[in-house]
Amino acid sequence: MARSQQKAYAKETGKKYHHSRKKKLYELGRDPTFTKIAERKVSPVRVRGGHEKRKLLSSTIANIFNPKTKTYVQASIKTVLENPADRNLVRRNIMTKGTVVDTNIGKARITSRPGQDGIINAVLLS
């Protein structure tokens, strides 16, 4: 069944919405990407307007910004330390925006959206 991003079926109170039409193609959603730590794998996806998003399925490298020296460095990712989206994603080493990862140069917080940007950008934590 298609994953719709239409208004919810019911309100928080339990009252049901009565939709006046069926689902539309432009309301179509997709399953989450769940970017993991493994050899780099990118999947192109056609989006509305004929444009293309690059879904990052897995990667071991992150572009890390050091705020003290104001420089960028590529570092390898060891593991996921915490994930504000869902604590269960930490055990599965899944990266989303805001995730804190352990790298070979220290802890870093991911600032990009790997499932939509196709790259991992992060800021080094002190």
Domain limits of the chain?
A: 35-124
CATH classification code of 35-124:
3.10.290.70
Q: Which residue in the block uniquely carries the two structure tokens 């069926």?
A: 22
pLDDT at 1 over 80: no
Q: Which comes out higher in pLDDT, residue 5 or 41?
A: 41
pLDDT at 7 over 90: no
**What integer pLDDT is reported at residue 100 of this predicted model?**
98
The residue-averaged pLDDT of 1-16 equals: 84
Pairwise CA distance, residues 95 & 57, whole Å? 10
* Cβ–Cβ < 8 Å for 62, 77: yes
In 3D, which of 105, 115, 24 has the Cα closest to residue 125?
105
pLDDT in tens, 101-115: 999 999 999 999 999
User: In angstroms, what CA-CA distances link 80 with 10, 14, 93?
Assistant: 36, 38, 5
H or E segment to which residue 75 belongs:
strand 71-82
pLDDT in tens, 14-32: 999 888 888 888 888 889 9
**What integer pLDDT is reported at residue 68 of this predicted model?**
96
CA angle at 106 for the pair 105 and 110, rounded to the nearest 5°: 105
The pTM of this model reads 0.82
Q: Which comes out higher in pLDDT, residue 48 or 43?
A: 43
**What integer pLDDT is reported at residue 40 of this predicted model?**
97
pLDDT in tens, 55-100: 999 999 999 999 999 999 999 999 999 999 999 999 999 999 999 9
Burial class (CB in 10 A: 0-12, 13-18, 19+), 51: exposed
The residue-averaged pLDDT of 37-48 equals: 95
Pairwise CA distance, residues 99 & 112, whole Å? 10
